[in-house]
Structure 1
Amino acid sequence: MKIMTKSLLTLSPVALALLLPMSHQASAHGYISKPEARGYLCRLRENTHCGNVVYEPQSLEGQDRFPQSGPIDGHIASAGLRAFGALDDQSINRWTKRHIKTGPNEFSWRFTAAHSSRDWRYFITKTSWDPNSPLTRDQFETVPFCEYQGYNRQPPKTLTHLCNVPERTGYHVVLGVWDVADTPMSFYNVVDVMIDNDDTQKATWQDVGDIVTGRDLKVGDKVKTRVFGDSKEIPSLQTVLTINNENEGLNKNWTIALAEKINASQSWIQAGQLNENNEVKITVGRNEIFAQSNAGISSVELEFEMAPLPKPDFSVTGVSHNYLIEGDAVNFDFTVNLDANAQIQATLNKSYNSIVTKAYEVVKGQSQLSLNYPNAETGHYNLTISYITNEGVTDEKMFHLNIVNSELPEEPTPPVVEPIADVEFIFPESLARYKAGTVVLQPKNNKVYQCKPWPYNGYCVQWSQTANQYEPGVGLYWNMAWIEIK
């Protein structure tokens, strides 16, 4: 028995965890890259909701000699590995498909870790298979339609086999099996294919949606198809068109471009008008969306994702840090510069409560505005000044300020405070070192505070002389960051 630590280390963590109980280990890894296997299309993000295989399409390894042994029925696509179990989902519209024809086709393998090889064998689903049932041995032909010997040699990094695909039409699954020579293991890759033999005239098309006309789109807007079957959406069949310039956004242009993109990227869905030859052809004007009657598609809807409107230039000046109560009131005078017509709203808040608010209609340019606070009280406040344009664009700016009874000295000298036991710092000294559990003394009220645990500890270091909303015991939101302990 040949078990080496070096071989084990070449396995990915997922594969190692699943294969560790087995007595033999192979350092081989590989996948079918053309036409792309189901797991590899997950890696390419053309298949969705795939689980861990997006990281390891090369690791679908199970017991060898299918169909006599190997992965159990219903788990063939995942090679019987729980970590890759999402690959075992099976329905007519679950997976992205690659187009091929019957007759000669190339199947290419890419090896991330080559190994001496016994053979490569390819199986295909029967003509009577049920694409909406799990993949089992009964779904596949028992005899491979293509087989290549490995002669116990290591293959190159890429290897291509020319295989004669038997007579089929429509959706089928090809199972490629790479049998390793010196271990009892094989690699299993399923390839979802749409076999087109120039027989589209036999397809029955049904109308499942429309390309809505009558609206122009802007640069950055997107229009998406949403494809539904059996009352659920099928993301793998979605088509997305992005508008890159004004000309593309014209109704007459984007509707044609969307139809062209659908027809180029889909086979079961086509856009246009159905002619007397049972062909779907794009027309200038109204185009409908058709699906093949056996595709399991019930409807196709359009979804528009509008690009956000640019925000106009916006600035506010004239707001001070300290305001003095005069005659029981405070008046806030400020200047707004806004590059659009809009409604301005100014709101004075204290401890999460709105104290006074006022709305103003302004035109593009500079506006001198004022907000009066009658019966004013001292304390820490924030002043929020926001706008909303006629198009619905909005933004805001916030200012922290203090209202006082008399003028404050420019820089008051902090009192000398004797340290208290267990206090690590006198706020705000060594501010950058504060973390969850840090204990500080607040010299302004001679109280002790402890920094809250994650995720609130990040607020403890957010302080400056002009932005003290999280200052312990003093700031407007201090209790979001600190716990008073003494």
Structure 2
Amino acid sequence: MSKKILSLVAVTVAAAAALPSQQVMAHGYISKPESRGLLCRMGENSQCGAVNYEPQSLEGPDRYPESGVADGQLASAGHGAFSALNAQSINRWAKRHIKSGANEFTWTFTANHVTRDWRYFITKKDWDPNQPLTRAQFEPAPFCEYSGNNRQPPRTLTHLCNVPSDRAGYHVVMGVWDVGDTPMSFYNMVDLMIDNGNAGSISWQDVGDIYEGRTLNVGDKVSTVVFTGSGEQPSLRTEILIQTEADGAPARWPQLLAEEVNRTQSWLKAGVMGPDNRIIPIAGKNDVFAQSGSGINRVEIRVTEAPPPAPEVNVSGIAGEYLIGDDGVLFSATVDTDTPVTATVSLNKGYNTVAKQSYEVNDYGFLLELPVTNASAGHYMLVFDFVAKNGGQTQKVFHLNLVSPPGEGPEPGTGPGEGGSADAEFSFPSGLGQYKAGTLVFQPKNNKLYRCKPWPYNGYCVQWSPGSNQYEPGIGLYWQMAWDEVVR
């Protein structure tokens, strides 16, 4: 195949200020057509592993094909953490439809770096899509190549490439970004269905129906479940959400699902087949067809019903602080509900329930009471759980403090002005999932108060489990990455 150097078409975005190479690591991915790794992050590819979080990190040794990543590991760039990308079969990965000829390939750089060149390789005409990706599967010369002139590119960059006209059907384009000042390159696989308008030459077989003769409700989801000889193939699943009553009609939702199958899938089509081999979605029953040779032998329909509506409940009468009396504490609250519910009220300290009681609530103005005789001063959560007869659920949570009677004095480290629990929104680790930038948390292990740091460090505040406490305020090895101690 002859090499073609094409003129560059760039989508200009304000370039980041140039930084010394030793201070920046290069990262990037092909965002149009979406690369295999990016489609993992988008959810169109499944069972991908770590690349869901790092499609920009497929970096390996440079100067493919003379050196570079080993055969069979090209898609993962040789990284064990991304090895799921190396799986290869005719129906493993979602594909983007293009036509041969002029096509745009866009890179998005999360850390743009000085560049030697970009090169694009395509699988051979007789490649085997059910075998691992190797040098023998790709043409040895790039069909498209651009020089980087050893300069830093903008954050997004688009190349116009001439996809060979003798390719049709499923092919893989491998984009290689060769960094200019390191011995590394980035490898991105783009799974494509090249459609040159020869639909009459494709053989289709009927593998299922989209038709159940039932009305779906708003919020229901309906999807195709696709099977091959090796079982269900989640990457070939198509799902729609019923958003209006009209869309849930028995004749309407099958057409909507068929249209979505045709929009998103390459090995599958849904509708009614005409004499010209075209498959067109219609109202009512639609057949599902799979391309011969795809390995797909069955498609079923699955409906996931929307959860029942949650009851509307209002709770009033809860204070932020309660005095512990001789008989303990009596909590009382007024509950208004639009439907009969079972109400369970519990007082929790950390992960422990101190007291709990249930009521049947049938009307407005219902009084709930929870007597607590064994509570001590400190920070608590009062939790109301409501379950309606239709299964719908609502929860209300109140954070409050219990204080000792006057003259007895507060517990050490818990009094106002001492940086104690009376100032805190939570007593660690209660309410862990609600921690955000600025959240004040009392640490009972050392009686100190901590504030969750601003973005981007606030993400560490919620990272805790009994076996992994490196960010626990005041205790963990790296707690200062997440928290600031509040000195009072």
In which range does the TM-score fall when normalised by the shorter chain?
A: 0.5 to 0.7
Report the residue type matching 2:21 in the other structure: S
Is 1:301 aligned to residue 309 of structure 2? no
Is 1:208 aligned to residue 199 of structure 2? no
Deviation at 1:88, TM superposition (A): 1.7
Deviation at 1:181, TM superposition (A): 6.3
Report the more deviating stretch, 264-273 or 425-434: 425-434
Secondary structure at the counterpart of residue 252 of structure 1: coil
Quote the residue 1:472 is aligned against: none
Secondary structure at the counterpart of residue 391 of structure 1: coil
Deviation at 1:385, TM superposition (A): 8.6
Aligned counterparts of 2:356 and 2:192: Cα–Cα separation in 1: 66
Quote the residue 2:420 is aligned against: 432
Report the residue type matching 1:432 in the other structure: G
Aligned counterparts of 2:312 and 2:385: Cα–Cα separation in 1: 12
From the superposition, tell whether residues 176 and 436 of structure 1 become closer, same or farther in structure 2 (CA, over 3 Å). Answer: same
Deviation at 1:100, TM superposition (A): 1.7
Deviation at 1:234, TM superposition (A): 3.3
From the superposition, tell whether residues 73 and 120 of structure 1 become closer, same or farther in structure 2 (CA, over 3 Å). Answer: same
Deviation at 1:321, TM superposition (A): 10
Q: TM-score normalized by structure 1? A: 0.63
Deviation at 1:74, TM superposition (A): 0.5
Deviation at 1:379, TM superposition (A): 4.6
Is 1:9 aligned to residue 26 of structure 2? no
Q: Cα deviation per residue 1:9-45 (whole Å; 9 max; x = unaligned)?
A: 2116xxxxxxxxxxxxxxxx55434323323434545
Q: Cα deviation per residue 1:365-390 (whole Å; 9 max; x = unaligned)?
A: 5669999x9xxxx9559x99976544
Q: How does 1:285-324 map to 2 (within 5 A)?
A: 285-297=284-296, 298-313=298-313, 315=315
Aligned counterparts of 1:335 and 1:110: Cα–Cα separation in 2: 55
Deviation at 1:186, TM superposition (A): 4.0
CA contact (8 A) 2:89 2:130 kept: yes
Quote the residue 1:32 is aligned against: 30
Secondary structure at the counterpart of residue 251 of structure 1: coil
Q: TM-score normalized by structure 2? A: 0.63
Aligned counterparts of 2:55 and 2:179: Cα–Cα separation in 1: 18
Report the residue type matching 2:290 in the other structure: A
From the superposition, tell whether residues 110 and 389 of structure 1 become closer, same or farther in structure 2 (CA, over 3 Å). Answer: closer
Report the more deviating stretch, 302-311 or 387-396: 387-396
Q: How does 1:63-142 map to 2 (within 5 A)?
A: 63-66=62-65, 68-110=66-108, 112-115=111-114, 117=116, 120-142=118-140
Q: Cα deviation per residue 1:416-444 (whole Å; 9 max; x = unaligned)?
A: 89xxxxxx8287674716634458xxxxx
Q: Which runs of 5+ in 1 are unaligned?
A: 13-28, 326-331, 400-410, 418-423, 440-452, 458-486
Secondary structure at the counterpart of residue 161 of structure 2: strand
Aligned counterparts of 2:153 and 2:165: Cα–Cα separation in 1: 28
From the superposition, tell whether residues 428 and 216 of structure 1 become closer, same or farther in structure 2 (CA, over 3 Å). Answer: same
Quote the residue 2:251 is aligned against: 252
Aligned counterparts of 1:345 and 1:248: Cα–Cα separation in 2: 38
Aligned counterparts of 1:78 and 1:386: Cα–Cα separation in 2: 47
Secondary structure at the counterpart of residue 167 of structure 2: coil
CA contact (8 A) 1:121 1:177 kept: yes
Aligned counterparts of 1:56 and 1:292: Cα–Cα separation in 2: 30
Aligned counterparts of 2:103 and 2:293: Cα–Cα separation in 1: 25
Identity, in percent, stands at 37
CA contact (8 A) 2:262 2:270 kept: yes
Aligned counterparts of 1:32 and 1:71: Cα–Cα separation in 2: 18
Quote the residue 1:279 is aligned against: 278
CA contact (8 A) 1:436 1:454 kept: no
CA contact (8 A) 2:220 2:306 kept: yes
CA contact (8 A) 1:63 1:70 kept: yes
Report the residue type matching 2:199 in the other structure: T
Secondary structure at the counterpart of residue 172 of structure 1: strand
Deviation at 1:262, TM superposition (A): 2.0
Aligned counterparts of 1:206 and 1:356: Cα–Cα separation in 2: 57
Report the more deviating stretch, 233-242 or 175-184: 175-184
Quote the residue 1:195 is aligned against: 194
Larger-Rg structure? 1
How many residue pairs are counted as aligned between the two chains?
A: 394
Is 1:148 aligned to residue 145 of structure 2? yes
Deviation at 1:108, TM superposition (A): 4.0
